[in-house]
Amino acid sequence: MRIYIHFVLSFLICGISHAQFSRGKIKNLQNFDKQKIHFGYYLGLNQYNFKIDFKQNPEYSTQMIEQLGLNIGLIGDLRINEYLNLRFEPGLHTNKGSLKFNERSGFTNESDTLRSIKSTYIHLPVLLKFSSKRIDNFRPYLIGGVSSSINLSSNQNSPEDNKNDVFRLKTFNLYYELGFGIDFYFQYFKFSPSIRGLFSLKNELVPDNDVNSPWTSNLSKLSTRGIFINLIFH
C-alpha cells in the first residue's frame, strides 16, 4: 500500500508543479465549480485493518494480514458556497484479509491459526469538502465526514463460527473519515485523486458460541481501520 500512496503523492506533486509552470494560461472549466449540483464517479484501492482490543493482556499474538481491495462508486456533489461542498459517495468496496492467531496451544492443525475475512461493503459516506482558493488549474481540498456500511459477507447470522472456519463480523457499521486531495481542471473534465482514512465507531466482533473459544474469548473489540486511494472523475 505504501507504494501506491507514494505513487499518488508523486502524481500530485508533479501535477502541482505542472500547474505552477502553466501560470498565465487559460483556465479550464472556469464555471465548473459554480454549478449547484454535479455528479461524478470514482475508482480506487483500499486496505482494511482492525484495531484489536483484548480483555486481558494477550498470552499469544493476534495479527491482521492485509491485502489490497478495490473501490468503485458514484459521487453527488452539492455546492454550499465557494469553498464548501456537501458530498454523497455511495460505492462498492471489496477486500480480502486474514487474522493470524499465533501459538495457540489448543490448536491441533496449522489451518486453525488462520481465519480468512472476505468483505464486500456497500459504503455510504456523507462528507464535507473544504476547498482552497483555486490556483490556475488546480485546487487542494480537505474532506471529512461520517459513513455507514453494509457488509454483505459479514456472516453475522451464521450459526457456525470459528470451530467451522467461519469468522463472524457485524453487518452494519459506522465510521468517521478524514482525507485530502487535489482537483485538477482539464479541458473537458475535472480529475481529483485523493487519500482518505476510515475509522470505525463500533465494535464489529461477533464472539464464538463457546465462551472459551481460543479465537475470540480474549477479544473484546474489533474496530475497522482503513485507507482509500480514489481517482475521481467529474
Residue with cell 483484548: 54
SS3 content of the chain, % helix, strand, coil (to 5): 15, 55, 35
How many domains is the chain built from?
A: 1
Mean pLDDT (whole number) for 27-55: 91
User: Is 33 within a domain?
Assistant: no
pLDDT value for 22: 46
User: Is 99 within a domain?
Assistant: yes
User: Is 224 within a domain?
Assistant: yes
User: Is 28 within a domain?
Assistant: no
On whether the CB atoms of residues 229 and 7 are closer than 8 A, the answer is no
The per-residue DSSP string of 113-132 comes to GEEEEEEEEEEEEEEEEEE-
Query: Where in the sequence is the domain holding 164, given as residue range(s)?
Result: 2-19+39-233
Q: Quote the pTM value.
A: 0.83
- In the chain, the percentage of residues whose pLDDT exceeds 90 is 59
- Residue 70 and residue 122: Cα distance in Å, rounded? 12
User: Is 34 within a domain?
Assistant: no
Q: Name 37's Cβ contacts closer than 8 Å, sequence gap at least 6.
A: 76, 77, 78, 79
User: Is 126 within a domain?
Assistant: yes
User: Is 29 within a domain?
Assistant: no
Mean pLDDT (whole number) for 193-203: 95
Poorest-confidence range of 18-32, 50-64, 152-166, 184-198? 18-32
Mean pLDDT (whole number) for 186-210: 93
pLDDT by residue (tens digit) across 69-104? 999 999 999 999 999 999 999 999 999 988 888 766
Q: Name 131's Cβ contacts closer than 8 Å, sequence gap at least 6.
A: 33, 83, 84, 85, 139, 140, 141, 183
Q: What is the CATH number of the domain that holds 126?
A: 2.40.160.20
User: Is 71 within a domain?
Assistant: yes
- Residue 227 and residue 49: Cα distance in Å, rounded? 9
Mean pLDDT (whole number) for 203-224: 90
pLDDT value for 197: 96
Count other Cβ atoms within 10 Å, centred on residue 37.
9
